[in-house]
Structure 1
């Protein structure tokens, strides 16, 4: 881990980008597997998929109507046409069609090669076995031409794409029953601290319920992630190290919360090292979330987040999410957020990028969201976080934000989520 030590020695606090670069350098892309397309939504494609066929496979009628000979359409012929056949979806057209005739076509029916246009049934007059065309039509009207949607060998699924039901439909339409995807990344979540108790268990006079593990289990519960609950562990260095040594071999990533601040009772970094790995504490220029550590234990990455819930959430959004996407081979794109305007002061001390829980209170005359900080916010406070609509971002170089000033804002549930 010398690369981390060299980077961190040069600065008292590391910016977010430096920590992300260090983690990306250490990340390994996981293997792929083949799964049924019905199970692929939310998974990440491992390779480009090409179509084995054109779509439509044959020219089709776009609606219920009547087909007219190409030569008659080109010559703008109108009048009465005898109906020489009927084709429904899945049916086979009759033999060659002569000029001066029409054919009944239902939506999705194969269009005979002689047909130049299809006229919807509402725009013609039928009388027995003849149909009256009163106005000329254009060549190609209401005909879905072969290959107009998908060409032979077109890429129907790019590599490293998060698959959703649209892609599943296209794969099925081009004949695929399975697809190669990045295998699920195996992530273990561990909370540390003598003070922690599992929800539903009796509390002592000085214990608290663990909220970090359930929060992160919820946040990271994604189709491309396989989660393992590693439970709680107390502040005992030997037990902590032994537990990491026993569990890491079946995991790609271990995410810990707590025990990373650097006091004599914060054992996470030492536990990773005693288990046979390497870890480095990094002081991040972030508020909340300054304490942070990253390391490796065999092939398993170990991301160590602060114990305060809001700091743990910020750390997971900033660092765990990008790490998992990098391991899936997904190109990283910055999450831009939206422009917002402060409706009340935001107090800020320079030197650290700050993420402030904020509430939307309306819009400016130009339609820009107006936001204010949630009162009583703090890295250990959950109510203020739950009341917020998102996180306002104050860059490290800024001072206090005055009403009317511009701010970057990440709404929960959309821009700033997994």
Structure 2
């Protein structure tokens, strides 16, 4: 985008009206100029859940760190891995104890799960598969060589790469880092986001619901939010606020002021502040109007003012943009669930649609049966609060019938609202 320009999406074919941009193309435009933020934090893994790796950590030790018994049993020498053997039991080794001296033919050691196996041991026979005769053990089932022994370094060797840059650290990764004795990790610094709502109507009569909703969606370890509050419909004041926020933020996220009326000033204010802006009309329902751009080093994303439209716009476009800025690998987000329509309903074709929906049950194979959770409306919050997720309907669909295959984005799994 050339600096200071106001660009409208080119005309496209669409069933409902011309000029609507497919969401995938809009997402590509937003991501085209986005790069991961510069700067790392060095943290202990315990302080880094949710953060995005900037560099690949390497293991400080091998796993397992020694030859280890996989279960309770008896460590045997190779000479005793034959039918009729009855080696003498020398001692017992529990987890955390030393392996002790090597064993030879005719000798066995009682080992517990996780204990080191002594040198000279070729296999461990499970305790369920032996008969005890005084201080001798008779295997009733002879193990194969190497059986029931976890070998030194079979999981990973010291110096191995553990995780790739771009990994968002979660409980699995913290377990691996702890086991591998990694004391510090390099993670991307948090993405600095300036959040605001725009509109003179927001105040005593109409409460601002978008800012609290978006703030909750931004409440993640890899994001640092500055709340700029509600800005009125004064172009000069908007331009000054945008210019001030651009100097120390990576992203300016706003809702309202983009629908195209004479009271919608955010795109013009961004241009007046010296930024570049592109106004889009999306083939998406709700959330058709949207604008994005850049002011200095800060990217800007301006969402619609209606709550459901702002939510859908953030989830389909804002979240991938934040993932790119944070350096995370999972820009596309989790895949939707396969689902079936619990009942039929009609709709106006032309734009792909996200409907608040609830799970009404499951079919015999376990697929969720979903249905709209209330009357549709991009300003309605009650159906959204009653929903289990968002039901995606393709642009060309005019009639959904009971039993039709659908895609369902559960809030907890797909959009991280829980």
TM-score by length of 2: 0.90
**How far, CA to CA, are the matches of 1:247 and 1:88 in structure 2?**
61
Question: Which of residues 93, 109, 123 is equivalent to 1:103?
Answer: 109
Question: Which of residues 71, 88, 91 is equivalent to 1:63?
Answer: 71
Question: Which of residues 176, 182, 196 is equivalent to 1:170?
Answer: 176
- From the superposition, tell whether residues 225 and 133 of structure 1 become closer, same or farther in structure 2 (CA, over 3 Å): same
Aligned to 1:228: 226
Contact 2:320 2:333 in 1 (8 A): no
**Per-residue Cα deviation, 1:160-183 (whole angstroms, up to 9, x for no partner):** 112112111211222210112222
The question of 1:179 aligning with 2:185 is answered yes
**Per-residue Cα deviation, 1:372-392 (whole angstroms, up to 9, x for no partner):** 223322001100111122222
1:4-403 superposed matches below 5 A:
8-11=9-12, 12-31=19-38, 32-73=40-81, 75-79=82-86, 81-121=87-127, 123-124=129-130, 130-138=135-143, 139-197=145-203, 203=204, 207-329=205-327, 330-333=329-332, 335-364=334-363, 367-403=366-402
Quote the offset at 1:94 in angstroms.
3.0
Aligned to 1:200: none
Unmatched tracts of structure 2, length 5 or more: 13-18
- From the superposition, tell whether residues 91 and 409 of structure 1 become closer, same or farther in structure 2 (CA, over 3 Å): closer
**Per-residue Cα deviation, 1:3-25 (whole angstroms, up to 9, x for no partner):** 99677234311110111011111
Q: CA RMSD in A?
A: 2.4
**Per-residue Cα deviation, 1:273-314 (whole angstroms, up to 9, x for no partner):** 222212121111111111100011111111000110010000
Higher RCO (Cα < 8 Å, 6 or more apart): 2
| Count of matched residue positions in the alignment of Structure 1 and Structure 2 | 407
**How far, CA to CA, are the matches of 1:394 and 1:5 in structure 2?**
31
**How far, CA to CA, are the matches of 1:314 and 1:239 in structure 2?**
28
- From the superposition, tell whether residues 367 and 101 of structure 1 become closer, same or farther in structure 2 (CA, over 3 Å): closer
**How far, CA to CA, are the matches of 1:335 and 1:169 in structure 2?**
22
Aligned to 2:15: none
The question of 1:409 aligning with 2:417 is answered no
TM-score by length of 1: 0.90
Secondary structure of 2:293's counterpart equals strand
Contact 1:377 1:385 in 2 (8 A): no
